[in-house]
Amino acid sequence: MDQNSLEKNLFDLHIPAIRYFHITTSTNADALQWASEGALDGSLVVADQQTAGRGRLGRKWITTAGASLAFSLVFRPNEEENQHLAWFSPLGALAVNQAIQEFCHLSAWVKWPNDVLLNRKKVCGVLAESAWQNDCLIALILGIGINISTTSIPKETELIFPASCLEDECGMIIDRERFLKAVLTSLFNLRTLLVSNEFIPAWENRLAFKGENICLETPNGETLSGSLAGLDVCGNLRLKLDSGIEKVFPIGDVKLRPQEK
């Protein structure tokens, strides 16, 4: 993977500009910087290795040279998309799901709100970050990290949820650039759903653990258990508590895991 091969292979996606780094701190940091310098909607940053890849709320994302995919897109959401900024990260997860289906003929699932699971293990994480000037959104950065081959899987001590990689789960060798192209193609196509009433059903259709008993840990440390009922019209998670009452959780730092059987 390099600047030339990316430009050649992604040519027909009409991406306005691509920046490839052999090694960088974080493609999201690069994309945020580029957005402040005027990067156009759809501009793409790709790195072979990240030394400070980030997850949500200060967590780390590990990217291994030659084994992972790490990339970020600069989006300039239009007025309608501005109403659904929280949906960009599940949009990224759905695009990865589609690419997995196409490449490996396996069904992946979205662990609400935005992790991609294959066989109940995390193979991809998505991080959306926005840049504001006063009350005005300048750009939304959508960062996606995918574990492709075995060495991309972090040590267990680094993980809060079991992880795997596409090659181990799919039992085939995956070309990173071809897979990147499949994800980007799905992403650009699915983006039109953001402003339609088809987005929530499409997301809910791929929701992991639906109907199963799960545990949710809220930011203030409270743990709740119940059955995952689905999504509401805003994409919030509906949890049916053991008491029978339904509680709704906005997209935020809620940790979700299936209940031990």
Residues that bind ligand BT5 (CB under 6 A): 26-28, 50, 53-56, 59-62, 70-72, 115, 122, 125-127, 143-145, 147, 152, 154, 158-160, 163
Decide whether 80 or 126 has the Cβ nearer to ligand BT5: 126
C-beta separation of 51 from 24 below 8 A: yes
Decide whether 188 or 240 has the Cβ nearer to ligand BT5: 188
Q: Which residue stretches of the chain are H helix?
A: 3-9, 27-36, 79-82, 88-104, 166-170, 176-190, 199-205
Q: How far is CA 30 from the centre of its chain?
A: 17
Cβ 50 to ligand BT5, closest distance in Å?
Answer: 6
Cβ 72 to ligand BT5, closest distance in Å?
Answer: 5
Cβ 217 to ligand BT5, closest distance in Å?
Answer: 13
Decide whether 58 or 244 has the Cβ nearer to ligand BT5: 58
Cβ 244 to ligand BT5, closest distance in Å?
Answer: 30
Give Cβ neighbours of residue 26 (< 8 Å, ≥ 6 apart): 50, 52, 53, 54, 143
Cβ 115 to ligand BT5, closest distance in Å?
Answer: 6
Decide whether 56 or 76 has the Cβ nearer to ligand BT5: 56
Question: What residue is closest to ligand BT5 based on CB?
Answer: 125
Q: Is 8 in a helix, a strand, or coil?
A: helix
Decide whether 201 or 250 has the Cβ nearer to ligand BT5: 250
Q: ∠28-94-121 over CA atoms, to 5°?
A: 85
C-beta separation of 148 from 165 below 8 A: yes
Give Cβ neighbours of residue 37 (< 8 Å, ≥ 6 apart): none
Q: Is 72 in a helix, a strand, or coil?
A: strand
